[in-house]
Amino acid sequence: MRTPRTTAGPLALLVVLGLALGGCGGGAEQQAPDPATVLAAAKRNLDATSGVRIGLSTAQLPPGVSGLLAADGVGTHAPAFSGDIKVSAGGVTADAAVVAVDDKVFAKLPFTTRFAPIDPADYSAPDPAALLEPEGGLSSLLTSARKVQKGEQVRDGKVVVTSYRADVPGKAVASVIPSADAKATFSGVFTVTDDDRLTKAVLSGPFYPKADSVTYTITFADYGTTKNIKAP
């Protein structure tokens, strides 16, 4: 009696060849990175840069609140900062040039011609030199974020940026702006380039005691900036 010929071997070979040929064609789509992984990479890039231009602003502060309205300048990992700030205190808005280095903050206040030491806490503001600290600085907000969700992806000039929405613990926010409620949860939106560089962070929540929610927009530009900042 002739034994029936099995086709399992040839069929299996055809399946393997088909899979191989399929792989040589378009290839499998690369899986998008986890949003929290993207923010962690953005933190590493911000921590690694020699310096960056930082902008911080809010459209307005609640009535009767003294605090930081805006800041713009270069921060380095010396750590140091050189730039300008705008504060509101006692209903009066004032602009000042600021230099922060060696754990001291100097400001050239309105109607003065020289820099003088100040305590930024008097204006409910942080030490600007601490903004780029790897622990407790702005980059820490990225890895402190919770419930991170990928948002819209758009082209901004020559780069592609993606927004990520997240909850940010108040403890992390208060390490940057001391007057923030450390027990609250802040709403955050982080904008990151396709090469994992943070370009903008928008934070909303109770930044000041017994006051309405405030939204701060923080921008980052000119990664790789080098500047030798010295005390005035």
Please compute, for residue 168, the number of CA atoms within 13 A of its CA located in the half-sphere on the CB side. 28
pLDDT at position 22: 46
pLDDT score recorded for residue 124: 74
Q: Determine the structural domain holding residue 169 and report its residue range.
A: 35-221
Q: Does any domain span residue 1?
A: no
69, part of any domain: yes
Q: Is residue 129 part of a domain?
A: yes
Give the number of residues written for the chain. 232
pLDDT score, position 14: 40
On whether residue 9 sits in a domain, the answer given is no
**231 located within any domain:** no
In this prediction the pTM is: 0.84
pLDDT at 91: 79
Counting the structural domains of the chain, the total is 1
Asked, for residue 21, whether it belongs to a domain, the answer is no
> Containing H/E element for 23?
helix 8-24
CATH number at residue 179: 2.50.20.20
pLDDT of residue 147: 97
Closest CA to 80 of 100, 56, 60: 100
pLDDT the model gives residue 179? 92
Collect the ranges in the chain with pLDDT lower than 70. Answer: 1-30
pLDDT of residue 5: 52
